[in-house]
Structure 1
Amino acid sequence: MTQARLMDGTALARRIVEDTAKRAADLTERTGVAPCLATVLVGEDPASVTYVRMKQNRCRKAGIESRHVALPAATTNGELVATLRALSDDPAVHGILLQHPVGEHIDERAAFEAIAPEKDVDGVTFASFATMSFGLPGFVSCTPGGIMRLLDEYDVDPAGKRAVVVGRSAILGKPVGMLLLARDATVTYCHSRTRELSAVVREADVVVAAVGRPRLIRGEDVKPGAVVVDAGYNAGNVGDVDFDSAAERASLITPVPGGVGPMTIATLLEQTVDAAARQLGV
């Protein structure tokens, strides 16, 4: 029988989006300008097309204008960088999201760095990582930011706890570790070359699975009473954690779907309104 409480990202995200919609409406009324998020998609990857459409729908519900730029798969690195720089220079655009993956022929890092820091509402640039790591004003990576909001919602104080992050990507694993560290957790990063991964995970009070390998973390890997955050999403609505077995030992656990995913989009919308407010000086 499942013992862990579910960390309901869907319900929390709904509240965040409702608050964001109110702020967007107030901003539009005060300035005559609606917050605007530009999404850029290279190629026609079905999953990416679906994600972008979903983000556009959420924008509309939150009173945020959505401008979509669809580029062909053969778009060159220079063309993509030029597109992102043009959006960065456009005062009518307040936030920019480059949907990834962008294709193996594209230098993704160069593309990210073409986004102006003040419009980097997805938190993917060097500048955003630096401000986040140093606790300065800026934008957090959306999934890590959403994870921290979930922990707060369920009264999980990372201070003094052992946190293990399984995954080291630039937009998920690394930044969530830095956010946990900033909250006084003792953070261990694990990855594909970590020896005795199960033994390391078993020491964690808080586990964040973000490696992209289905059901990698199993129940026997979870310390009794640990908090388990599954940020993985694999084919068939399967996360990086074996939910059923992990839920028998964890105190709190995120479902897949319905846990981290909704929080990512909610954070993106919230940061778009934040960006617009800063750029409009209100």
Structure 2
Amino acid sequence: MTQLCPLITAADLKPLLGRPDLRIVDASWHLDGRDGRVDFERERIPGAVFFDLEAGSDRSSPLPHMLPTAEAFAAHVSALGIGDQDDIVVYDTPGLVSAARIWWMFRTFGADRVRVLDGGLPAWRAAGGALESGSRTPLGPASFRAHLDADAVADRADVAAAPDAGIQILDARSAGRFAGTAPEPRPGLRGGHMPGACNLPFADILTPDSTMKRGAALEAAFAAAGIDPDRPVITSCGSGVTAAILSLGLAVLGRPSRVYDGSWTEWGGRHDTAIETSPIRS
């Protein structure tokens, strides 16, 4: 079976509108706490449903937006009218930020036909795509049969064991946060990074218009961060959202990876985890 490209352009999405198996998902989310649903109701791609990242995550965990159980995810997306056999396209309003996290969640729970709209809503507008606004009722119940792909997820023990196991850790946070010279946006977290980690700020694999770099330019971004594409990778960030952008980029290159779901919120929030504060070595 040919592997589905994890990205779709606005030009390629436009003629698909109206297909009965197409499900468009607005995954807008903001680190500062603003409600992404406001974006959704102000302006969206016709037919889109809103995926609330917080509501669709594990609300019982003390860590932010951790993966829910397979049963909870199935119930959440089924209520949105999304089935596991649908053709799912995820986007967000900034361009390419939180959409990657929702793409990864769908993939991790068994969706084979799920892609991210490259460049998000700005790219859709630039391509002259139609828009709608106002509140919207979900399509009605569907059947999403979810099963967890454990190989897509890393936990704290996996990260701690990674250097000795020859597994690369790739951190999507800014260089300052990685080095421990810039403050963390969440209170109570230490600065720095996991021992042995490499740093690739997620914006470095995007173009100025928030689309994903392609081909040699994308490969060069990972190489510049010190990543060997032939060795396994665990991606991390502040709380597991932008780590998924790096995993999306690796998927574009045909490379698997795992997302550390707890990310720096878990690692940096503990006092029994080792950290480094020196900038990444070239």
- Common topology (TM > 0.5): no
Q: Which protein is richer in helix relative to its size?
A: 1
Q: Provide the TM-score with structure 2 as the length reference.
A: 0.31
